[in-house]
């Protein structure tokens, strides 16, 4: 390894095969896989959030999977702090940090930095959650538009979690999210005052391949115990506005357990929601570079494992990563 710390980013939409690729690269190059997915940090819904299996986690080190209680919302700032610690630990052990996931905001927090916002009083946070629960995201967006139009203009009326965060920041600090973004923040990731270098492998499979994969994943989740995971979450009586309670499949299977819809309808709704989410993910990645073009390798296929590639393709992927480690990476 060079003196400047280096980490590999593996990103793409849900069901594109990021975890399988990360496992293959980590096994070949001595890597540690660090979760970069906002739902996979939660303990409990392992099947629902498609966390790596116990067997996969025995093959190479995996970090930040299932480490957060669903009752406690995980912030981007919390994840960034944990990820930086795991990246430093991997490097100290002579392993390649591989950040794998589909949450673009997490990747951006690493590569571009995170806006620093003062602590928000609990009363403001509780007010935001109450408004979101009682009135819904569209009404909360309308409130925010009147109070803090600059911040509201950057958010979708359906994005309840981010709207609630924007509302609590405005109420709790007297300034909106847009103001704090303009103020600057942490800056890119550093290790003992030396900036991390990043290269990226971006998965961009065809839409039809993703649709098929989403259907297969849903069926596998049901076989793997997804209904029991949802029952366990509901039994805790958690706030439905919490991120873990809005993970794909939780609202739909919760409706099944309340007798509101059947399992087939739940599957239709869940797969539709996941498909729409993957479109937004793909759009985000097309408009946000995770690394310089010369340090980015794009794969236009869904990954089921390194074994799906020809020997030439496997060598090409690994050669790209090795070249980026020594600073001479070239895009493919």
Q: Which residues make up each annotated binding site for ATP?
A: 12-19
At 267, which helix (H) or strand (E)?
helix 263-287
Q: What whole-number distance in Å separates Cα of residue 33 and Cα of residue 146?
A: 43
Cα distances (Å, whole numbers) of residue 186 to 81, 117, 157, 238, 305 = 11, 10, 28, 32, 36
SS3 call for 115: strand
As given in the structure block, the two tokens for residue 247 are 């993970």
Enumerate the β-bridge partners of residue 10. Answer: 100, 201
SS3 call for 151: helix
Annotated binding site for substrate: 14-19
Q: What whole-number distance in Å separates Cα of residue 111 and Cα of residue 23?
A: 22
Annotated binding site: 12-19
DSSP-assigned letter for residue 195: E
Extended strands (E) in the chain: 6-11, 31-35, 62-63, 96-101, 190-191, 194-195, 197-203, 296-299
Closest CA to 42 of 51, 34, 33, 52: 51
As given in the structure block, the two tokens for residue 16 are 């594109």
């Amino acid at each position: 390894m060079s003196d400047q710390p280096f980490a590999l980013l593996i990103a793409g939409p849900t069901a594109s095969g990021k975890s399988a690729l990360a496992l293959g690269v980590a096994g070949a190059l001595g890597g540690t896989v660090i979760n970069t997915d906002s739902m996979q940090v939660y303990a409990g819904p392992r099947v629902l959030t498609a966390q790596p299996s116990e067997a996969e986690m025995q093959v190479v080190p995996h970090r930040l999977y299932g480490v957060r209680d669903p009752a406690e919302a995980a912030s981007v700032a919390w994840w960034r702090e944990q990820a930086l610690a795991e990246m430093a630990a991997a490097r100290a052990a002579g392993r390649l940090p591989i950040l794998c996931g589909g949450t673009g905001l997490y990747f951006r927090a690493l590569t571009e930095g995170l806006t620093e916002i003062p602590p928000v009083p609990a009363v403001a946070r509780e007010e935001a959650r109450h408004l979101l629960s009682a009135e819904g995201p569209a009404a909360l967006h309308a409130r925010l538009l009147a109070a803090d139009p600059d911040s509201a203009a950057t958010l979708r009326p359906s994005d309840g979690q981010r709207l609630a965060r924007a509302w609590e920041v405005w109420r709790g600090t007297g300034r909106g999210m847009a103001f704090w973004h303009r103020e600057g923040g942490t800056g890119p990731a550093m290790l003992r005052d030396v900036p991390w270098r990043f290269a990226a492998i971006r998965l961009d499979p065809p839409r039809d391949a993703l649709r098929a994969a989403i259907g297969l994943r849903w069926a596998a989740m049901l076989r793997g115990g997804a209904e029991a995971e949802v029952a366990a979450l509901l039994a805790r009586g958690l706030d439905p506005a919490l991120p873990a309670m809005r993970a794909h499949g939780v609202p739909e299977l919760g409706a099944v357990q309340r007798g509101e819809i059947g399992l087939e309808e739940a599957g239709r709704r869940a797969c539709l929601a996941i498909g729409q989410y993957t479109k937004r993910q793909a759009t985000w990645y097309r408009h946000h570079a995770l690394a310089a073009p010369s340090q980015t390798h794009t794969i236009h296929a869904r990954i089921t494992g390194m074994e799906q590639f020809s020997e030439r393709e496997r060598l090409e992927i690994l050669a790209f990563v090795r070249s980026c480690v020594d600073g001479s990476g070239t895009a493919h």
